[in-house]
Amino acid sequence: DTEVTQTPKHLVMGMTNKKSLKCEQHMGHRAMYWYKQKAKKPPELMFVYSYEKLSINESVPSRFSPECPNSSLLNLHLHALQPEDSALYLCASSQDGQGTEAFFGQGTRLTVV
Amino acid sequence: GESVGLHLPTLSVQEGDNSIINCAYSNSASDYFIWYKQESGKGPQFIIDIRSNMDKRQGQRVTVLLNKTVKHLSLQIAATQPGDSAVYFCAEPDSGGYQKVTFGTGTKLQVIP
């Protein structure tokens, strides 16, 4: 199994809603990542978890809250988002947190209304 | 700040021809580079990587060239196929720990049948 699975694939939420994005991998990878990608732009790193501990937070607003319940799961909790937060949210994993050969999920297309 | 960028935003190539996608980087201390392919509606997919102690690395139909003197790398795709149509990103893990990966702006490759 070389897949990173993200759910849901699409999400529309209001600015007062609370929702969560989920990511799962069963490759035994010990590093997991959240990226944000706007249309026609490159992915931008948001968070890195290494061995289930948050190792990098790229100054992401607190309305985005990551969680790593175990080495296979990564969540991104969303609260009070703004329309400009609409984007493709990509999860990735890599074997050892070195940023090498990251495997990406298909992403969650988020629209904030 | 340091950046990774591309010269050409869009490249159109006839099927069967070779493609060359270029990338410039600014951090002379960078020692590792990755090329990713992102097809429409999908997450980025690892293609090939190269370390700074190498000038060239070959994969299946792809070759990456690194010129440290002018801080330039390129991705060459031999006998381009319709399935190669995608956006290609060069990416640069930070040399401090490789967890933070900065993506270049991307080049869209269009293969003309």
- Residues of chain A with Cβ-Cβ distance to B99 below 8 Å are 31, 48, 50, 55-56, 97-99
CA pair distance A50, A60, nearest whole angstrom: 17
**Are the beta carbons of B99 and A102 separated by less than 8 Å?**
no
Instruction: List, in sequence order, every residue forming a beta bridge with A104; answer none if it has no partner.
Output: A92
Strand, helix or coil at A58?
A: coil
Task: With beta carbons under 8 A apart, name residues in chain B contacting A97.
Answer: 97-99
Q: Tens digit of pLDDT per residue, chain A (113 long)?
A: 669 999 999 999 999 999 999 999 999 999 999 999 999 899 999 999 999 999 999 999 999 999 999 999 999 999 999 999 999 999 999 998 665 789 999 999 999 99
* Token pair in block for residue A65: 């809250």
